[in-house]
């Protein structure tokens, strides 16, 4: 690895949301890719072209890569020795304290170190796993000290900014590439890879390890801030006649200093990134005795937001014996089957404690939901079946098919017409003659024109 990086084969260690999306995209770009994961069941399914999670375009791209013989899968880390560079995408889940759990990544790194010790050619290791600031410098570099001293290994931090539901699109069209490096030449090697991938290289920022690590945390913390901010405004709106948070969000989003993204009021954010990264940032700042009340407040708003749904249900007086509540939407957002930190889990647990019968529907996430609730609730494969003989409907995910719902659909199927729109996807003017409530909608009838 003197002046130029030879890129003939790449490897990806850790085939979760980020790793698998990255692997199949590289394979479809023409690079022979080896995907490595310790889960044998997952590997067996991937070899058949079957991912273990839903992401738009992912399965078809996986099938195409297999047909082209551009991708292989293995549980053996030894296979990386036949590649030129390795992306590390092993998960870093949260501990109860909020600190990230590094046990999985440490195990993978030690195994990679063992393999690279016997590899003749030099190697580039790209850290894409989300890491707290100074993790690379204090924990990862010491593991590879011998290889680095020999000049056989270069390490860079390259955080990802993928949105669930848009992972392939975000890999193909990144808004920015961040490269954290110890030496300038290390980052240049990774830049050579990106020049091979993209016809026109996106903007690239070269920085140090800790800044690159902190960019990822700051990015997600700010997105979480915008969501909790607009939810706080929504909670005010619900107490003011005729006020509507959607109108407010639209207006302030027109200000270029603010922007419209992530200003959609709802039941709170979930998923695998925002809650975890926010908790980790709080934990990290606490260790350094820094004030973290701001981040704690963002987290507190999000954790209490599901109670706003419960309060709306109380106003509808549906918490009575033998009542049935229908839940439309289980995943934490549309276009994914991911239910991690989903508000639907919190709501359903609360309803079951109150002895309410629960029926649920979701285009993608019901199998994952069944792993948690088993036969305690009813799973409905159609919206009509979910609404049938229900006393109340709560919308918790903004799936497109729910946006198309009309008052007539509810009237035809429900026993009582009580609707709580937790995602603000229905037009309150169309539902004004029904018992309709929504996050961030003033308590009196909306009559002004849109």
Q: What are 7-47's pLDDT values in tens digits?
A: 789 999 999 999 999 999 999 999 999 999 999 999 999 99
In the predicted model, what is the mean pLDDT of residues 342-364? 96
Distance between CA atoms of residues 8 and 33, nearest Å = 9
Q: What is the pLDDT of residues 158-175, one digit of tens each?
A: 999 999 999 999 999 999
Q: How many CA atoms within 13 Å lie on the side-chain side of 59?
A: 11
Q: 53: which 2 tokens?
A: 């999670």
Q: Quick check: is 392 catalytic?
A: no
What is the pLDDT confidence band of residue 132, given thresholds at 50, 70 and 90?
Answer: very high
Q: CB neighbours (10 Å) of residue 355? A: 11
Q: Tell whether domain 219-438 is in CATH 3.40.50.720.
A: yes
Domain boundaries, the chain: 9-205, 219-438
Assess whether pLDDT exceeds 70 at residue 377: yes
Q: 385: which 2 tokens?
A: 């079946």
Q: 131: which 2 tokens?
A: 């890491």
Assess whether pLDDT exceeds 70 at residue 2: no
- CA torsion angle for 77, 82, 88, 93 (degrees, to 10)? -10
Strand pairing category for 204-207 and 177-181: parallel
Distances (CA, A) of 362 to 66, 194, 373: 30, 37, 14
Q: Tell whether domain 9-205 is in CATH 3.40.640.10.
A: no
Assess whether pLDDT exceeds 60 at residue 449: no
End-to-end CA distance of the chain: 62
Q: Do residues 351 and 358 touch, judged by C-beta distance below 8 A? A: yes
Residue 26 phi/psi, 5° resolution? -60, -40
- Fold match between domain 9-205 and domain 219-438: yes
Assess whether pLDDT exceeds 50 at residue 1: no
Distance between CA atoms of residues 111 and 109, nearest Å = 5
Assess whether pLDDT exceeds 50 at residue 101: yes
Estimate to the nearest angstrom the gap between the alpha carbon of 116 and the chain centroid: 32
pLDDT the model gives residue 322: 85
Q: What is the pLDDT of residues 165-224, one digit of tens each?
A: 999 999 999 999 999 999 999 999 999 999 999 999 999 999 999 999 999 999 999 999
Q: What is the pLDDT of residues 269-301, one digit of tens each?
A: 999 899 999 999 998 888 766 668 899 999 999
Q: Could you tell me which of 209, 212, 228, 218 has the C-alpha nearest to residue 285?
A: 218
Q: What is the pLDDT of residues 48-67, one digit of tens each?
A: 999 999 999 999 999 999 99
pLDDT the model gives residue 289: 66
pLDDT the model gives residue 96: 86
* Average pLDDT across the chain, whole number: 93
pLDDT the model gives residue 106: 96
Residue at token pair 């549309």:
334
Q: CB neighbours (10 Å) of residue 181? A: 22
Q: Could you tell me which of 124, 123, 120, 307 has the C-alpha nearest to residue 231?
A: 307
Q: Which of the following is catalytic: 273, 380, 386, 393?
A: 273
Estimate to the nearest angstrom the gap between the alpha carbon of 186 and the chain centroid: 29
CA angle 53, 58, 61 (to 5 degrees): 145
Distances (CA, A) of 154 to 31, 79, 189: 20, 18, 9
pLDDT the model gives residue 288: 65
Assess whether pLDDT exceeds 80 at residue 3: no
pLDDT the model gives residue 72: 97
pLDDT the model gives residue 4: 58
Residue at token pair 């647990």:
349
Q: Could you tell me which of 346, 348, 349 has the C-alpha nearest to residue 305?
A: 346
Question: Between these two residues, 443 and 444, which has the higher pLDDT value?
Answer: 443
């Amino acid at each position: 690895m003197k002046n130029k990086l030879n890129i003939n084969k790449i490897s990806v260690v850790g085939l979760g949301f980020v790793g698998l999306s990255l692997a199949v995209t590289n394979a479809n770009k023409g690079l022979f890719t080896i995907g490595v994961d310790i889960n044998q069941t997952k590997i067996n399914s991937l070899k058949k072209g079957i991912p273990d999670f839903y992401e738009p375009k992912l399965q078809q791209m996986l099938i195409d890569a297999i047909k082209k013989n551009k991708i292989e899968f293995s549980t053996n880390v030894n296979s990386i020795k036949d590649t030129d560079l390795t992306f590390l995408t092993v998960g870093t889940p949260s501990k109860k304290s909020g600190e990230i759990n590094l046990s999985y990544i440490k195990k993978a790194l030690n195994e990679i170190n063992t393999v690279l010790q016997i590899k003749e050619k030099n190697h580039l290791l790209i850290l894409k796993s989300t890491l707290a600031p100074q993790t690379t410098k204090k924990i990862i570099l010491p593991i590879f000290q011998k290889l680095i001293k020999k000049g056989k290994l270069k390490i860079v931090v390259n955080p990802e900014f993928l949105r669930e539901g848009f992972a392939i699109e975000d890999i193909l069209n990144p808004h920015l590439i961040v490269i954290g490096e110890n030496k300038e030449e290390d980052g240049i090697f990774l830049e050579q890879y990106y020049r091979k991938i993209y016809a026109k290289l996106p903007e690239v920022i070269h920085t140090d390890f800790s800044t690159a690590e902190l960019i990822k945390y700051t990015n997600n913390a700010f997105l979480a801030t915008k969501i909790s901010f607009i939810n706080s405004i929504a909670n005010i709106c619900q107490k003011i006649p005729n006020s509507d948070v959607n109108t407010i969000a639209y207006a302030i989003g027109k200000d270029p200093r603010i922007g419209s993204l992530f200003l959609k009021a709802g039941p709170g954010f979930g998923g695998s990134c925002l809650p975890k990264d926010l908790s980790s940032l709080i934990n990290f700042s606490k260790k350094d005795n820094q004030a973290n009340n701001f981040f704690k407040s963002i987290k507190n708003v999000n954790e209490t937001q599901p109670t706003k749904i419960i309060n709306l249900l109380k106003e509808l007086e549906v918490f009575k014996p033998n009542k049935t509540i229908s839940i439309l939407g289980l995943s934490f957002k549309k276009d994914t089957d991911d239910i991690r930190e989903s508000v639907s889990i919190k709501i359903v647990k609360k309803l079951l404690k109150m002895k309410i019968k629960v029926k649920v529907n979701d285009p993608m996430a019901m199998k994952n939901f069944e792993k948690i609730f088993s036969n305690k609730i009813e799973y409905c494969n159609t919206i009509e079946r979910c609404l049938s003989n229900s006393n109340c409907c709560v919308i918790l995910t903004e799936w497109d098919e729910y946006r198309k719902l009309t008052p007539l659909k509810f009237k035809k199927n429900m026993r009582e017409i009580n609707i709580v729109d937790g995602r603000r996807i229905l037009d309150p003017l169309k539902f004004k003659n029904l018992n309709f409530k929504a996050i961030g909608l003033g308590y009196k009838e909306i009559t002004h024109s849109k």
